[in-house]
Chains A and B, each alone.
Chain A
């Protein structure tokens, strides 16, 4: 660590008592770099055992890493909390300007504890925290609250504005936190934790500088990373079509989950492909702070007003592969315009797009099978492709007018336990499924990944690379374990996972030398494993058990490019992964 790097400052905020203070953690940051590594240690320390995730005791921890502010594509913030969706580890990553703002305000981590009696928002800078009344902002959609705070607060260009929509206020278990209008702490329900604390928004701003150890070497390595990020073909794809480019190839390969994974090929896939989104709707591409890639794609949705001719509004809606899958193919919606309208509603309310799509897909199948009636749905009739009904349904999920919508607001697993249809309730470890039915590895990844995210260990990528080969459980379990352990390093620095092709181990070693480390690749791997182990210890402490995981039967009924998935294979691979985790020392 650079001597006296302000990253060691951890800002504590107690909402109940309206107080804040700074504690220094030099050893912790020295040992774990920041991000995930530091956050999991702080979570063990600050989160009491077995608490209700929506109680004041649940801490919200934001952590950045030593490379944030120094190197390009180190542009993410890690949030940790106890998840109201899964009941164990809540970890979510977000870009926008969040990480630069925290780093430049002079903090390595921010911990928000307690809860406010009245709605509140926070403004944080190098001098500390201002507690501001948010009574007027309560109830507002995510766009509006951002628009208002932009005018109220200083720091345009060097600030982040994190906020929740009505979904977070109403404690939907998969409510998200939105920053810079279009980026998200999307998964695992951070928005509900904000809501439970009556915390509507957090503004963070700052403009510091950091002195690297050896400036000449710093510049050289900076330029090397910058060159790779702007020239490598693998980064171009994120920039050009963006992640939406996946729609066509996944459909052709037969792994695009469609209509609640009743099939993996969508007849209208070409109409909602990344190419169509870009050619007909792409209005602007934007970037996170300090990332030249600009993977954020905003579609321009032009809508006529009904009450007056030739009167239009043009809304900008951000899209990516996962929301297109969840709110598109999964719901049988084969029109970009309809998907955008649904996405826009989900964004306004502040819901996680992925969980929402899976919940709605399950609901549609329940309706079609006659397992729920108008009494449950409040007279909504669910049909594939009917985006207007889905828009009404997401509003009801937020409002929760009856038992059924209250259950939907807790996630598909809770809803299915109550109303049936568990076999086609597509959640893994309590978290709704990502958009890949590529083979066994992806599902092993959903089950074992410490966040139950496809990005934990990229099982889909392993499936795709081995389409013509025969996979075995041992190899799958071990490969996913190694990948996930390595990614703990990236998320401790904190480097965007999209930049994993640039930040190869040898580059990471070099970049860390600039901030004073002399580490070998093997050392990094060991630290990565240690962080992963700590995350698992937290999960297990909160009742998680890899052996007791429910596997939705549906995944065995629909073929993948690797053929039908066999349950024994999955269980065996999970066992291999579990043994790898358990073989690691506890400290």
Chain B
């Protein structure tokens, strides 16, 4: 089976409900937003639409390159996997991500890395997000 990742199908379908953000947080057994690996904000006022920030599963990810302790390893299909026990919380990965899709968990002092599980996709009522095999399409 080929690896899957999250795609933003059409950002103009987004209504800004942020149900994806809350869904992501629930993966950790909590309600709220502090552990969400996806972020939705307006593009300068809701009338201008929304910006959906989520890991795009780079095949050659900058976040991985700057980790000084090899806490991040390449994920099959792109993106990275975090080994929290190695992570020293330096935050280099957050800085390195060009699209700012590495978020920070203040409680654990570690990055929040998208695992491309697709749980957020199930809670996007408008089809903005989808989980698809990596090779299937361009963005």
Beta-carbon contacts of A285-300 to B below 8 Å, as 1s and 0s?
Answer: 1111111111010100
Residue pair A286, B32 in contact (C-beta under 8 Å): no
B46 touches A182 (CB 8 A): yes
The tally of residues in A whose CB lies under 8 Å from a CB in B reads 42
Q: Which of B20-43 contact A (CB under 8 A)?
A: 22, 25-26, 28-35, 39-42
Quick check: which of B11-19, B58-66, B71-79, B130-138 contacts chain A, the rest being far away?
B11-19
Q: Tell me the A179-235 residues at the B interface (CB within 8 Å).
A: 180-182, 207-212, 215, 218-219, 222, 226, 230
Structural contact, B17 and A291, CB atoms closer than 8 A: yes
Contact call B42/A156, Cβ cutoff below 8 A: yes
Partner of B45, one of A181, A218, A294: A181
Do B30 and A209 touch across chains, with their CB atoms under 8 A apart?
A: yes
Contact A286 B19 (CB under 8 A): no
A480 at interface (Cβ–Cβ under 8 A)? no
A571 part of interface (Cβ distance < 8 Å): no
Contact of B22 among A208, A230, A287, A290 (CB under 8 A): A290
Decide if B91 is an interface residue (CB 8 Å cutoff).
no
Name the CB-closest residue of A to B28.
A209
A–B complex contacts, Cβ < 8 Å, 7 sampled: A104-B33, A156-B41, A209-B28, A286-B46, A289-B17, A290-B17, A316-B47
Q: List residues of chain A with CB under 8 Å of any chain B CB.
A: 69-70, 72, 100, 103-104, 146-147, 150, 156-158, 180-182, 207-212, 215, 218-219, 222, 226, 230, 283-294, 296, 298, 316
* A211 x B34 contact (CB < 8 A): no
Q: Is the CB of A210 within 8 A of B46?
A: no
B13 → chain A, closest Cβ, in Å? 10
* Interfacial chain B residues near A157, Cβ < 8 Å: 18, 39-42
| Most-contacted residue by chain B among A103, A207, A218, A219 (CB, 10 A) | A207
Minimum-distance CB pairs A-B, first 9: A157-B41, A209-B32, A316-B47, A287-B17, A294-B15, A209-B30, A156-B41, A209-B34, A287-B15
A288 touches B17 (CB 8 A): yes
Q: What is the CB-to-nearest-CB distance from B100 to chain A, in angstroms, rounded to a whole number?
A: 11
B125 interface residue (CB < 8 Å to A): yes
Contact B19 A290, beta carbon cutoff 8 Å: yes
Task: Note all chain B residues with C-beta closer than 8 A to A100.
Answer: 18, 33
* Nearest CB in chain B: distance from A297 CB, A: 11
> What is the bound-complex CA distance between A30 and B5, given in angstroms?
43
A298 to B125, CA, bound (A): 19
Query: B32 and A230: CB pair below 8 A?
Result: no
Contacts of A181 in B (CB 8 A): 45-47
Question: Smallest distance from the beta carbon of A433 to chain B beta carbons, Å?
Answer: 30
Interface contact A150-B31, CB-CB below 8 Å: no
Prevailing SS type, chain B contact patch: loop
B20 to chain A, nearest CB (A): 10
The interface residues of chain B lying within 8 Å CB-to-CB of A218 are 26, 31
B44 / chain A contacts, CB cutoff of 8 Å: 147, 150
**When chains A and B are docked, how far (Å) is the Cα of A215 from the Cα of B31?**
9
Across-interface contacts of A182 in B (CB, < 8 A): 46-47
The docked-state distance in angstroms from the alpha carbon of A209 to that of B32 is: 4
Q: Chain A residues near B46 (CB, 8 Å)? A: 180-182, 284, 286, 296, 298
Using A147-B45, A157-B42, A284-B49 as known contacts, say yes or no to A294 and B17 having CB atoms under 8 A apart.
yes
Q: A100-B33, A207-B34 are in contact. List 17 more A-B contacts (CB 8 A).
A: A147-B45, A150-B44, A157-B18, A180-B46, A181-B45, A208-B33, A222-B26, A226-B19, A285-B15, A286-B47, A287-B16, A289-B18, A290-B18, A293-B17, A294-B15, A294-B16, A296-B46
Residue of B nearest to A283 (CB): B47
The complex places the Cα of A230 from the Cα of B123 at a distance, in Å, of 10
Q: Which residues of A contact B16 (CB under 8 A)?
A: 286-287, 289, 294
**A209 contacts B31, C-beta separation under 8 Å:** yes
A6 to B34, CA, bound (A): 14
Q: How close is A511's CB to chain B, nearest CB, in angstroms?
A: 11
By a CB distance below 8 angstroms, the chain A residues around B42 are 156-157
**Inside 8 A of A209's CB, which chain B residues have their CB?**
25, 28, 30-35, 107
Could you tell me if A226 and B123 are in contact, using CB atoms closer than 8 angstroms? Answer: yes
Which residues of B sit under 8 angstroms from A316, Cβ to Cβ? 47
Residues in B neighbouring A290, C-beta threshold 8 A: 17-19, 22
Closest to B29 in A: A215
Query: Which residues of chain A are near B107, meaning CB under 8 Å?
Result: 209
Of all chain B residues, the one with the shortest Cβ separation from A300 is B47
* B26 and A219 contacting across the interface, CB-CB below 8 Å: yes
Interchain CB contact under 8 A, A208 and B45: no
Q: How far is the CA of A104 from the CA of B44 in the complex (A)?
A: 21
Contact A69–B32 (Cβ < 8 Å): yes
How many Å lie between the Cα of A156 and that of B45 in the bound state?
10
Residues of B within 8 A of A212 (CB): 30-31
What are the residues of chain A within 8 A of B30 when measuring CB–CB?
A: 209-212
B66 CB to nearest chain A CB (Å)? 24
